């Protein structure tokens, strides 16, 4: 307990950065991943191709490599300067949205054809059909795998510690330099992550319960 209580500001600061990193990357991945999924089910072949290309490239690239790209290679392009934190957000979002895309797309495939057909018969356009009829049902159908993707994002965020972002994954290193017990330090970091994941699991359960009738 000493390791935790003696270094509480360090732990709180680390986890605050983790939560912030996670929250921003999660929103960005959900939005961008859903747009990618819409591309992948679009009737326009070029858009479909773009979506498929993105998923194929990004999903098959190790996350560390994506980080290396945005922290070390991207600055050479001299477009917009990214701080380490922003670079980490971008790397995590780019990577996770490929997975979100596939989860959303599998959800879209579970929605019966008749739903979109009824919407077309009422005069809704493609965007309205996706936005009002298909996507809401698709998201409801994939709450568990979507939450798994977000949990993976939360844990993946610790890679940012290797790229000068002082999130929870960096706590051990600081404590090691202070001569603290590293085993205890790591256990407390793990406990922190377990608590955060439990929150996400509770959110998932609440959503599943709420949506059980309406699908």
Partner 1 sequence: MTASTTAPPMIRMASVQKHFGPLHVLKDIDLEVPKGQVVVVLGPSGSGKSTLCRAINRLEPVDSGVIEVDGRPIPQEGRELARLRAEVGMVFQSFNLFAHKTILENVMLAPVKVRRQPAAEVRKSALELLERVGITNQADKYPAQLSGGQQQRAAIARALAMRPKVMLFDEPTSALDPEMVQEVLDVMTGLAADGMTMLVVTHEMGFARKAASRVVFMSEGEIVEDSTPEAFFTAPKSTRAKDFLGKILTH
Interface with partner 1 by CB under 8 A: which residues? Answer: 112, 114-115, 117-125, 128, 132-133, 136-137, 140, 211, 213-215
In the complex, minimum distance from the CB of residue 117 to partner 1, in angstroms, rounded to a whole number? 6
Shorter beta-carbon distance to partner 1: residue 25 or 138: 138
Pick the closest to residue 11 from 180, 162, 202 (CA basis): 180
Angstrom distance (rounded) from CA 73 to CA 60: 19
Shorter beta-carbon distance to partner 1: residue 137 or 158: 137
Pick the closest to residue 195 from 160, 139, 151, 130 (CA basis): 151
Are the C-beta atoms of 16 and 8 separated by less than 8 Å? no
In the complex, minimum distance from the CB of residue 139 to partner 1, in angstroms, rounded to a whole number? 9
Are the C-beta atoms of 200 and 146 separated by less than 8 Å? no
In the complex, minimum distance from the CB of residue 150 to partner 1, in angstroms, rounded to a whole number? 21
Tokens of 68: 């290396």
In the complex, minimum distance from the CB of residue 37 to partner 1, in angstroms, rounded to a whole number? 17
In the complex, minimum distance from the CB of residue 142 to partner 1, in angstroms, rounded to a whole number? 13
Cα distance from N-terminal residue to C-terminal residue, the chain: 47
From residue 197, alpha-carbon distances to 22, 49, 65 in Å are 12, 35, 25
Shorter beta-carbon distance to partner 1: residue 64 or 132: 132
Shorter beta-carbon distance to partner 1: residue 136 or 145: 136
Shorter beta-carbon distance to partner 1: residue 1 or 121: 121
């Amino acid at each position: 307990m000493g390791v935790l209580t003696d270094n509480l500001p360090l732990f709180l600061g680390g986890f605050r950065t983790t939560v912030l990193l996670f929250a921003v990357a999660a929103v960005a991945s959900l939005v961008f991943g859903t747009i990618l999924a819409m591309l992948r089910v679009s009737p326009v072949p070029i858009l479909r191709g773009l979506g498929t290309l993105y998923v194929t490239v990004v999903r098959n690239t190790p996350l560390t490599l994506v980080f290396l790209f945005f922290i070390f290679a991207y600055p050479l392009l001299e477009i917009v300067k990214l701080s380490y934190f922003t670079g980490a957000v971008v790397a995590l979002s780019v990577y996770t949205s490929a997975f979100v895309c596939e989860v959303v797309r599998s959800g879209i495939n579970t929605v019966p054809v008749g739903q979109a057909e009824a919407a077309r018969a009422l005069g809704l356009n493609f965007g309205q059909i996706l936005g009002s009829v298909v996507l809401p049902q698709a998201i409801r159908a994939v709450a568990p795998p979507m939450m798994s993707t977000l949990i993976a994002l939360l844990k993946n965020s610790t890679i940012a510690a290797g790229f000068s972002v002082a999130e929870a994954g960096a706590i051990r290193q600081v404590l090691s330099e202070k001569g603290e017990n590293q085993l205890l330090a790591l256990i407390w970091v793990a406990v922190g992550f377990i608590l955060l994941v439990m929150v996400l699991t509770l959110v998932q359960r609440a959503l599943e319960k709420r949506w059980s009738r309406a699908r």
